[in-house]
Structures are given as structure tokens and as C-alpha cells.
Amino acid sequence: MNFNHYRNKIIKDTVRLIKIPSIYDENTITNTQPFGASIDECLDETLMICKELGFNTYKDEKGYYGYAEVGSGEEYIAILCHLDVVPEGDLIKWMHPPFEGKEIDGVIYGRGATDDKGPTVCAIYTVKALLDQQVHFKKRIRLIFGLDEETLWRGMNEYVQKETPPICSIAPDGVFPFVYAEKGLLQLELSRCTKPNDLIINGGKNYNSVAMDAYYSGNLKNTIVSKIKDEMDYIVDGDTLKIIGIPAHASTPHIGKNAVLYLAKILKSIGKDNDIINILTTIFNVDYKNTNLFNEIIKDESGEITVNLGAIEMNKEITKIKMDLRIPVTYKKEEILKQIEDTFSPFGFKINIFSYLEPLHVPLDSEFSKILLDTYKNHTHDDTHPITMGGGTYARVFRKNTACFGPRPIGVNTKGHEPNEFINVDDLIKALEIYYDTLLRLNNCDTLNN
């Protein structure tokens, strides 16, 4: 079946959602907008799209989530989407305004294009295609729209408390063929009183992104600039030096360049060494593979542990460090925490857990996994094995018969969490084709609970 007639509608509605800067905003939170006005606006717009296409829609009365569905019956298949996005970062690095939603030669650019608005619209039109073909639904198909996937998952936690779980679910928030293991995700805030001899440096914003900027004010500014050379971009504004790194998702810190750790490396090279600089250059490291946080290699079939320093906030009173760890699936949170405490306690840091998501492991021999993999192979003739990843998706919410499934081809960096984020429309059309047949098979399968 050819689904190319949905192409222009997918482009139009993806752009429609990208134009809404749905970033978490605590300044506009209300009793019915728990994540801020822009995220709530994006939910309303998404539900409007679904209503226009003939779906039944629902918005949580407190504004924590929404969903759209078709079909009837007690059981339902869930498609797990999210509408919030990470901040745009440095506008200078964008070729096109991040919230313009520009389509050029079959590629849509903008914040959220690949994470997760383009995939969300692809999923919406997959369900529309099922309606258009007058498929007999044995189960309902429900598109669930989460609103704080990039932060604390409070919306989906609310969903789980209020709604019955699906019989199976897919999250269109990754790559094909599908992700069978997601590492544990541990985000920590380290804090202590600032010491008199500490250099005051600041940079980064989020736990789940590589710190893409670092700020220094002081009499070492010119010396630091002389050491940067061509390795990093920088801006001098009066007494303040801003170093501009390369952002990346916390699960793949090697793709980016951490501006905070780079600044610390330069400061140490010119003889400025104290607790904070020592922590940033030895316990952490601008070369993330050379961290000294653990006394052993932490690795299993899901890969090696990754450590990301997302931000440092310093003033004369307090120092805070935000860090993000992606933990291999066979390791326990408690054993990782113990090593972190042993490392940082001698420096006077207190450790606070900001967020933790348990790892996910999907059995490859289950009926659910076989349907996903067989359908993918039938459409692509690709024998790539299902993969593991450090990223955390909504597939973890329900845990049984659930996986992150497409929509991107493996090996393509669509710059999620980076400037110039994009999605290829051809990839969305191919994903629609795969999703369509997958949902047909899941709809007709009577043995998913076995």
C-alpha cells in the first residue's frame, strides 16, 4: 500500500506543532497547566489535529496528559508520544529559526522535528490510515500524549494512576528495528557550600544535555582566550567570557563538546587548581571516557555506563552540579550511588536524586517482539538485530509488551537536543508503512498476554 498521499499533511502538521515552543516553563504553571502555557497549547493543538481527523479525544482535567483513540473494546494498544521539547540552545548555531518549522527538499528542520513531534504526527497519520482503510478494530488504538518526557515524567505517572494499562505499546521515539534494552537513568544534583578559594564558573542548563556553554568572569579572561585557539567558539562581553561547546544528548556525550569541562581543563593548564577544578578535570573529564568516577569498568550487553555533566551553578554561597548517568541494565542503582557517594563525600558534597528511571529489558522471544521485528524485516529486508540504548523513552512506563520502535533508520543522527534538529519526510512515510502493518498484526493477535 502506498502512503505517500499523506506526505503533505504530515509536513503541514509537523510544522504546525514545531511552531509552538513547548518547553517546560515554571513561570506559566497553573492548576490546569502543570508544565506551563506553551506545552498546554501544544497539547490542545495536537488534540485538535486528531479531532479534525475523526478521532475521539480526551484531555486530563488537570492538564497532565491527553490522548486520542479509535476503535472499540476493553483492550487497547498504546502509541506513546511526547510533545515537550528541550530548549533551543545557542541560536547562532541554527541554520533556520528553531521554532519556524521549515521544510526544505523533504527535510523538516526545527526543535522537536525528530524528538518527538515529527514521529508523533507520523503515528497520528498511521491511525488515520487505519481509519481510512476501514480496518475492523478488535482493540482500541490510543495515542497517548505525554508532556514532560524531557524532565520528570509526572504526566505519565498521573496517567498510570488514573488509566488502565494497554495490552501492548510502542514509543515512536528512537530507531528501527526496535530497542530491546534501555539503560537505567539516574540524575543527581551534587551540592556544597562554595569555598573561599573556589573560582566561580557557571554553565549548562539541563541534566540530559551536554553543557554547551560555560561562563567565566575575572582577570584570567585574556589568558583563557589565548589557550582556546580554534578548539571552541567563544564570546567576550565586557568582563565575561562565554565558551560555546557542542551540545548532545546525555546518553551520547561523546558526540558533543562539554564547555564546562573544557573551561576547567584550560584553568588547570594555567595553574589554577582547587577542589572544583580537580573534580571537573579528574573525576569528570572533557574526554568522558577518562572519568575516574568508578573503580571498575561498568558494562554489560546494554553497553558501558555513560556520565554526563549537564550543568554547574556557582555563586559565593553554594555550588551545584547536575549530572546524568545511563546505567547498564544488570546494575543496581544502589551500587552506583554508593561509589558516587564515596567519591564526592570527601569534597563535602551532598548527593540528591533528582530523577531515576528503572532500566527496561524486552524479551526477544516474546510474541510482541517477533511481530515488531518480522514486520520491520518484511518492509525493509534488513536483518539488523534489535539494539540497546542509553536514552530513556516512554516505553518504560508500562514495561510489559512495550518497546521504542522507530521511526528513524539506525545510524542516522537527526540532531535531537542539538541545533539544526531535523527529520527526513521519506523516513516518516516509511515508518508509517511499518507502523500500519505492525498495528494490524497487534490488533489481530490474541496471544499477547500469554
- Minimal CA–CA distance to 370: which of 269, 296, 314, 441? 441
The answer to whether residue 343 sits within a structural domain is: yes
Residue 360 CB neighbour total at 10 angstroms = 24
The answer to whether residue 450 sits within a structural domain is: no
Q: Alpha-carbon distance 97 to 111, whole Å?
A: 9
Total count of domains within the chain:
2
Domain boundary, last residue among 295, 326, 357:
357
Is residue 325 within 8 Å of residue 354, measured between CB atoms?
no
- Regions of the chain short of the pLDDT cut 70: 288-290, 450
Q: Which residues lie closer than 8 Å to 78 by C-beta, 6 or more apart? A: 142, 143, 144, 166, 168, 169, 170, 398
| Predicted local confidence at residue 450, as pLDDT | 62
The answer to whether residue 449 sits within a structural domain is: no
Name the grid cell of 425: 519526510
| Domain enclosing residue 299, as ranges | 184-357
What DSSP assignment string belongs to 249-281? BTT-GGGSB-HHHHHHHHHHHTT--SHHHHIII
Domain boundary, last residue among 308, 334, 357:
357
**3-class secondary-structure state, position 425:** helix
- Same domain? For 222 and 87 the reply is no
- Same domain? For 175 and 190 the reply is no
Single pTM value for the model: 0.84
The answer to whether residue 209 sits within a structural domain is: yes
- Same domain? For 350 and 339 the reply is yes
Task: Please say whether the dihedral angle defined by the alpha carbons of residues 245, 249, 250 and 255, taken in this order, is positive or negative.
Answer: negative
Is residue 165 within 8 Å of residue 173, measured between CB atoms?
no
- Same domain? For 161 and 194 the reply is no
Domain boundary, last residue among 325, 340, 357:
357
- Same domain? For 173 and 192 the reply is no
